[in-house]
Each structure stands twice: as C-alpha cells, then as structure tokens.
Structure 1
Amino acid sequence: MTLLLVRHGLTAATGKTLAGWTPGIHLDERGRAQAAALAQRLASLRVDAIVSSPLERCVETAQAVADTVGVPVTVDERFGECRYGEWTGRPLTELAKDDLWPVVQAYPSAARFPGGESLAETAHRAVSAVHDYNTRLLAQHDTPVYLVCSHGDVIKAILADALGLHLDQFQRIQIDPCSLSAVRYTRLRPFVLRINDVGGGTAGLRPPEDATGDAVVGGGAGEA
C-alpha cells in the first residue's frame, strides 16, 4: 500500500510564527494556488482515502485534492500539529533564543514543549495512526493508496520512522509547504519513494545567505 504525505499550503503565518493549534489560520492566495496545483498533479492517480489534520489549513489543502479525485476528506486529530503549548503563536526568531531550542534541534526525542506535548508523543500518535489506516485500508482494497494532509514536524516524524531513523535524526528531513512525500508499506519493510517533492525545478537548491544549520520548527515557508 502507498501513503501520500502532503503538508498544508502556505498561510500568512507560515515560516514567521509557530501556528500550532491556533484556530482560524487559513490558506492564503499562495497556499490555495499550491493546493490547486497539487490536486492537478494527483488528478490521474486513484486515491482510495484522504485523511486530514483537523486544522483549517490542512482541511482546505486536502479538500482541493478531494474535489479533484472525488474522495471525501476524513478528519483525524492524530495527524494534527504538535501541541506546542506556550510556544504556540510566538515568532520563530524569538523561539530560536529559548533554552529549549537547542534540544529541539539536536535531541528532539527529549523535547517537551511547556504546557504542550513532547515531540516523541507527536511522533507516536502519528505513526500509530498510519499503522491503523494501513490495516484498515488493506482490509478493504488490494493495493490501497491514501493521502494524509498534515504538518511539517508530523510528516518528518512519519518519514523518520519509515526510514528507520531515531527521532533525534528527523530534523535532517525538509518538508516544504504543499510538498508531496510517499511511502510504500510492504510486509517486510517500508520503501520511501519521495520526500519533499514540490514538482521539480531548481528553486531552493542554492542555500540562503542566512543559513544557520538549524531546522525550522514547524517546517518553514519553503521558497515563499
């Protein structure tokens, strides 16, 4: 079976503040265009199910695909954003000065956000949900393909698990807005087919002048 992992499209907050579970954050014009383009890329693919984080930016991205491939969207909180607690809504430039930031960068498996959850808990619920849907859909289809629309850190955690990486290595994975990643699960092992596919081209390959080596918590805004 094949799992398609899609990060939500751009919002006004993407790459600036850590939106987390803040309600009412919708795709902006750029994000809607990204979602429409992704939907067209997937138009010829048979998709058996579409699952989304409950947050608006994900539901709107997933719905754009659903409208094209003719499959309804199921909402599942297990694919929701990490609960960042007191970090929620704060500028990323401010968070980078927090004492917890180096832990999130180098030892994310030990990172617990004040008033929120740990990255390990986020990873556990998301990976458990993937295995749940794998079992459920395999009972209904011979070679199911399903799409999950979620968030940068959640997708990185699922991919790290599929790659057999410790969670402390998940910051090595980049997941841009409205990117497509794909994992094929078999009885023996998962095969990671794509990571952070944004449709080709060379944009983003040249490093930015202000590159620090830090991963952007929440995923960042890509080339926006």
Structure 2
Amino acid sequence: MQLLLVRHALPLRSEAGQGSDPDLSPEGVEQAKRLPDALKRFPITRLVSSPQRRALQTGQPVADALGLPIEVDERLAEYDYGQSHYTPIEEASEEDLKRLMSGQLPGDVDQDAFIARVRAGIDDVVATAGHDETVAVFSHGGVVNAMVHTVMKTERLLCVQVDYAGVTRLLWSRTAGLNVASVNGTEHVWDLLPRNLRW
C-alpha cells in the first residue's frame, strides 16, 4: 500500500492564549487548492487527517474533488497539539529554532511519547488499508519527520525539510514493511512557499 503524508498548508499565527489550532492563511488556502491536481495521479481511496484545523482545511479540497470523507485521528496531531499558541517556524524563538535546527523538538515536548503516538496512528492506518490502497494523510512537519526518522532510522528526529503542502510517500509491503519512496514533493506549490519568494 501507499501512504501520502501531506504537510498542512501555511496557517495563520496565533497569539498566546488563542490555542495552537489556527486556520489556514490566505496563502495557505491557495496552496491547498493546488493539491487535488497535484495528487490526481495517485489512486487515492481514503483520506485521514490530524484533528487540527490547518490539516483538515488542507485536506478539504482533495476530499471535495474525490468525494471522500476525511477520517480524523488525534494521534496524527502535531507536537504542539493542545499548547497555548502556534508559531510558524519562520517566527520561532531563537532558542526553539536552535533546537529545531539541531534536529530536536522544543524542550517542553516528550519526544519519545510523540514518536510513539504518531507511529501507532500510522500503523493503524496501514493495518486497516488494503494491499493496493493509497491513503492520503494530512498532517504536520513533525509527524512527517517522526515517520521518516522511524523508517530510515536517522540519527536526528527532525531529519528532513518538510514544506507547506509538501508530499512525502511511504510504501508498505508484506515483506519489507514501510519504506520511504520520496520526501517533500513541492512542485505544485514551489512559487507559493515563503522560503522561495526571495528567488
């Protein structure tokens, strides 16, 4: 089976006390609108999402295009789930940015528990999917990294760049289990990514 791990599109920032579950920004809405065309070459049979709005809103255009419901799995939420606010990586504090750049989650996150939660969610998606199915999972950069790290046994948890609306493909087989097929496909949103606006 095939898993398409799609990072959410660009969200709004939320301030302290507003929660860590903001809506997509106008730019993020435009990124999400490109996903149906970007994913149409895949025979998607099922959609699963983190419960956070930025992931659900990213998946909605695909759900509308395919006429499929979006299943919600709380285990696929980001490590900031339930925190007091959301800060896009571009606005992270210097301390948190140093940790993230060194491949670690922010200091108040239980990294092992986060990885175990994510892996349990993905394992259940795989276990309930048919051998020939393709499942699109709308989630978060930390979740994608947790899976790439687990499957590839990388030294650092945050081992790959995952852009907004980027697509990472995992393949599962009965003999080899999960394997990483591709990471962070962004051709469909290249011109809409904050880090590329300077080029």
SS in 2 for 1:58: helix
Question: 1:132 & 1:74 partners in 2: Cα distance?
Answer: 12
SS in 2 for 1:67: helix
Question: 1:152 & 1:180 partners in 2: Cα distance?
Answer: 10
Unaligned runs of 5+ in 2: none
2:182 is aligned with 1:194: yes
Q: State the one-letter code of the partner of 1:177.
A: Y
The CA deviation at 1:67 is 1.0
CA 1:94/1:103 → structure 2, altered by over 3 Å: closer, same or farther?
A: closer
The CA deviation at 1:118 is 1.1
Aligned twin of 1:212? none
Question: 1:72 & 1:148 partners in 2: Cα distance?
Answer: 12
The CA deviation at 1:89 is 4.0
Asked if 2 retains the 8 angstrom alpha-carbon contact of 1:82 and 1:153, the reply is yes
2:161 is aligned with 1:165: no
In the comparison of the two structures, how many residue pairs are matched? 195
Question: 1:72 & 1:121 partners in 2: Cα distance?
Answer: 29
* 1:59 aligns with one of 53, 56, 59: 56
The CA deviation at 1:38 is 1.4
Question: 1:4 & 1:19 partners in 2: Cα distance?
Answer: 33
2:122 is aligned with 1:130: yes
SS in 2 for 1:171: coil
Superposed, 1:23-62 pairs within 5 Å as: 23=21, 25-62=22-59
Aligned twin of 2:66? 69
Asked if 1 retains the 8 angstrom alpha-carbon contact of 2:38 and 2:188, the reply is no
Aligned twin of 1:4? 4
Aligned twin of 1:214? none
The CA deviation at 1:108 is 2.8
SS in 1 for 2:182: strand
Q: Which has the larger radius of gyration?
A: 1
Question: 1:94 & 1:142 partners in 2: Cα distance?
Answer: 40
What is the Cα-based RMSD across aligned positions, in Å? 3.2
* 2:170 aligns with one of 173, 183, 206: 183
Asked if 2 retains the 8 angstrom alpha-carbon contact of 1:4 and 1:146, the reply is yes
| TM-score using structure 2 length | 0.82
Question: 1:49 & 1:146 partners in 2: Cα distance?
Answer: 5
Asked if 1 retains the 8 angstrom alpha-carbon contact of 2:34 and 2:189, the reply is no
SS in 2 for 1:83: coil
CA 1:57/1:192 → structure 2, altered by over 3 Å: closer, same or farther?
A: same
* 2:104 aligns with one of 101, 108, 127: 108
Q: State the one-letter code of the partner of 1:171.
A: L
The CA deviation at 1:180 is 0.5
Question: 1:32 & 1:49 partners in 2: Cα distance?
Answer: 22
Asked if 1 retains the 8 angstrom alpha-carbon contact of 2:149 and 2:159, the reply is no
What is the aligned-residue identity percentage? Answer: 24
Which range moved further: 78-87 or 65-74?
78-87
Aligned twin of 2:138? 149
Aligned twin of 1:216? none
SS in 2 for 1:172: coil
| TM-score using structure 1 length | 0.73
Q: State the one-letter code of the partner of 2:161.
A: Q
CA 1:122/1:163 → structure 2, altered by over 3 Å: closer, same or farther?
A: same
Question: 1:20 & 1:145 partners in 2: Cα distance?
Answer: 35
Asked if 2 retains the 8 angstrom alpha-carbon contact of 1:162 and 1:183, the reply is no
Question: 2:17 & 2:185 partners in 1: Cα distance?
Answer: 23
The CA deviation at 1:86 is 6.6
